Amino acid sequence: MIDGRTSALTRFARRFRRALTPLVQWFDTQGNQLGLLWRRSLQLRVVVMTLTLSAIVIAILGVVLTSQITKRLLDGKISGAVEQMDRARVTVEARMTGSLAPDSVREKLEAARMDLSTQAGGSAQSTRPAGSFDSVLIVPTVGGPPIESGPADEIPPGLRRYVQQGLVAYQFTTVDDPVGYRGQALIVGSPTTSDVSALELYLVFPLGSEARSLSLMRGTIMVGAGVLLLALGLISVLVARQVVMPIRSASRIAVRFADGRLKERMVVRGEDDLAKLAMSFNEMAESLSRQINQLEEFGNLQRRFTSDVSHELRTPLTTVRMAADLIHEAGDALDPALRRSAELLVTELDRFEALLNDLLEISRHDAGMAELACEQLDLRLCTRAAIQTVRHLAKEAATELIVDLPEHPVIAEVDPRRVERVLRNLLANAIDHSEGKPVLIRMRADEDAVAVVVRDQGVGLKPGEEKLAFNRFWRSDPSRVRRSGGSGLGLAISYEDARLHNGKLEAWGEPGAGASFRLTLPLIRGRKVVGSPLPLRPAVRRRARQAAVDGAPDPTVVELPSPDQLILEYPVAQQDPDNDGGETNADQDGSDSAIGSAGETGR
């Protein structure tokens, strides 16, 4: 039975939580929106804080003022009541003389009470200093009920004990006379010295007029506080607006200025601090505008100079090339020193021509004249063409190329010439810095993009150098010899080519752990790249376990100089009998390897 009740309570609790979930989510949403508005609006914070502090101050002042006024009213009421009690006691004592028979005492009490009523209803202010009142007369009896005149039930027992001890006392209480006043009242009690022993006299002073006065005063304070808060709110809105509006204007103008609208300026009104801020902002904008224009003119001149020089050098270069080729062809008839000089001349002319081509290409990018000649093709063809181009470099450097391409075609809308050039530059850069260790090139694709990673295990990059990798003519180690004979512009041109495709070219590296370059391109022209099918950082594994099957080749492992001796792991590779440049094809299982991460580094 208990289990059944527990199960029913559990189900009820679950249904209750499910029913409250939308309400809780709504409150969370509203709270988040209010929090966002509070953080973003300086004017709202100023107004709310002003009203909050003002409300606290007004509440404190209202409490103090109400307390003081109430105290003064009650003190005046008590003073008037005590004075009235002295007069009433004289009247009662004058009436209560003579016979002490019970009937006579009751009649005299009624007569005395009638005299007090006449006194309380007098028109002269001097006759009723504490206002109108009702009277109660009580004569205790031995062994029987007291003789009373007036609403004796309204007299508190505690007050009667003080009066019976011969003291004049008063007490604030609530009275509920069925035929008279109902509400707060001041009751003053006093003993008398008449012929009737132990006669107790009580005067009941209603506090209705005082309560109405205090209520009116509180209402007046509340209305005044509301009006004052409203006025303070409007004042704070106006003041905050005068301060916030110039700041918002400066923010909007700064955003437009950053967007290239260099003629945007703030409006200067008056001579106050905000006007000085606007003038300072305008002076800063004017100075920045001049400097930006100067830099743009200088950049245009520099690009024009580079383009003109590159074009002008082509004519003498062609002439020198023809002469050098003629001398080189006749090298057999020359002595060994001249033959070597002819070979060096041809080699340097090749480098010079490559440098001119790179300068022309980078000048097209700078001028915004570079265009894509896109076509749909299998990107594996571009990758194989780039590998074929750098195979002789890998052979000279005794560097193994590990190729990991998908089994199925990867169709993308790209410019094949530019993509091949990017991959060629990345491979040549990796071979230059691999120090004879294997270089991996891996390609993967998803429904939106394709990524190609070129990974080496050479000298790597120092922290922060991955951001400098694509700078023009930047080298991580100036003393290193370029086997590829590059001009120093290859990675910069590759970066521009990737951006021209709406793609990304990224770099990662660590000293002694090598570097990774990742090219990510959209499969459809015009789309932006959001993610990448391959990671940029390599996967790091513990030392590879020995193969479980006898005869299986061991994986290639390279130890990292780290405290825990982590190692990088290549996928098992098979030699390609058609390749003579040290190229191997990796398993197509897509397994993670440290060499399968990407990033391009200008080194």
Q: Looking at 439-563, which runs of residues are DSSP E strands?
A: 439-445, 449-456, 504-510, 514-522, 557-559
pLDDT tens readout for residues 103-119: 677 788 888 888 787 76
**Cβ–Cβ under 8 Å, residues 214 and 69:** yes
Distance in angstroms (rounded) separating the CA atoms of residues 390 and 252: 52
Q: Looking at 50-151, which runs of residues are DSSP E strands?
A: 134-139, 147-149
pLDDT tens readout for residues 166-194: 888 988 888 876 556 678 888 899 888 87
Of the pLDDT bands very low, low, confident and very high (cuts 50, 70, 90), residue 580 is very low
Dihedral angle computed from the Cα positions of residues 109, 111, 114 and 116, in that order, rounded to the nearest 10 degrees:
-70
Q: In degrees rounded to 5, what are phi and psi of residue 514?
A: 85, -170
Highest-pLDDT range among 17-31, 201-215, 271-285 = 201-215
pLDDT tens readout for residues 527-539: 888 888 888 887 6
**The pLDDT of residue 32:** 81
Least confident of 144-158, 346-360, 400-414: 346-360
Of the pLDDT bands very low, low, confident and very high (cuts 50, 70, 90), residue 587 is very low
Q: What share of the chain in percent tops pLDDT 90?
A: 5
Averaged pLDDT for residues 539-557: 40
**The pLDDT of residue 443:** 92
- Distances in Å between the Cα of 418 and the Cα atoms of 258, 310, 459 are 32, 20, 27
Element (H, E) at 467: none
**The pLDDT of residue 452:** 93
Distance in angstroms (rounded) separating the CA atoms of residues 504 and 518: 8
**The pLDDT of residue 546:** 40
Chain centroid, CA 208 distance in Å = 58
Q: Which of 320, 389, 313 is nearest to 348 (CA)?
A: 320
Residue 173 three-state SS: strand
Averaged pLDDT for residues 427-443: 88
What fold is seen in the domain 372-586? Heat Shock Protein 90 (3.30.565)
Judge whether residue 544 has pLDDT over 60: no
Show the tokens assigned to 230.
Answer: 């409203």
DSSP state of 180: S
Q: What share of the chain in percent tops pLDDT 70?
A: 77
DSSP 250-279: HHHHHHHHHTT-TT--PPP-SSSHHHHHHH
Distance in angstroms (rounded) separating the CA atoms of residues 420 and 328: 30
Distance in angstroms (rounded) separating the CA atoms of residues 454 and 597: 7
Residue 413 three-state SS: strand
Distance in angstroms (rounded) separating the CA atoms of residues 32 and 43: 19
Averaged pLDDT for residues 89-93: 84
- Strands in 169-176's sheet, in edge-to-edge order, are 147-149, 134-139, 200-206, 182-191, 169-176
**Which is higher by pLDDT, 306 or 514?**
514
Report the CATH architecture of 41-255. Answer: 2-Layer Sandwich (3.30)
**Residue reference for tokens 């039975």:** 1
Q: In degrees rounded to 5, what are phi and psi of residue 581?
A: -110, 25
273-366: CATH number = 1.10.287.130
- With b for 16 or more beta-carbon neighbours within 10 A and e for fewer, the 514-529 pattern comes to bbbbbbbbbbebeeeb
Judge whether residue 560 has pLDDT over 60: no
Averaged pLDDT for residues 127-134: 67
pLDDT tens readout for residues 358-388: 666 666 666 666 677 788 889 999 999 999 9
**Which is higher by pLDDT, 377 or 39?**
377
Averaged pLDDT for residues 545-560: 37
Q: In degrees rounded to 5, what are phi and psi of residue 377?
A: -155, 170
**Which is higher by pLDDT, 2 or 551?**
2
> Would you say the C-alpha torsion 307, 311, 313, 317 has a positive or negative sign?
positive
142 CB neighbour count, 10 Å cutoff: 4
Judge whether residue 102 has pLDDT over 70: no
Q: Which of 466, 451, 412 is nearest to 596 (CA)?
A: 451
Q: Which of 523, 333, 338 is nearest to 447 (CA)?
A: 523
**Which is higher by pLDDT, 185 or 552?**
185
DSSP 522-555: ESSTTPPP---SS-SSPP-BSSPPPPSSTTPPPP
**The pLDDT of residue 444:** 92
Least confident of 279-288, 545-554, 559-568: 559-568
**Which is higher by pLDDT, 449 or 370?**
449
Judge whether residue 22 has pLDDT over 70: yes
**Residue reference for tokens 């001349």:** 345
Q: Which of 433, 431, 443 is nearest to 392 (CA)?
A: 431
Q: Which of 415, 559, 395, 410 is nearest to 500 (CA)?
A: 415
Listed by start position, the domains of the chain span: 1-39, 41-255, 273-366, 372-586
**The pLDDT of residue 561:** 34
DSSP state of 454: E
Distance in angstroms (rounded) separating the CA atoms of residues 113 and 199: 13
**The pLDDT of residue 442:** 92
**Which is higher by pLDDT, 332 or 400?**
400
Averaged pLDDT for residues 17-40: 79
Of the pLDDT bands very low, low, confident and very high (cuts 50, 70, 90), residue 27 is confident
Show the tokens assigned to 106.
Answer: 């009751």
- Amino acid at the residue 370: A
Element (H, E) at 585: strand 583-586
Distance in angstroms (rounded) separating the CA atoms of residues 152 and 138: 7
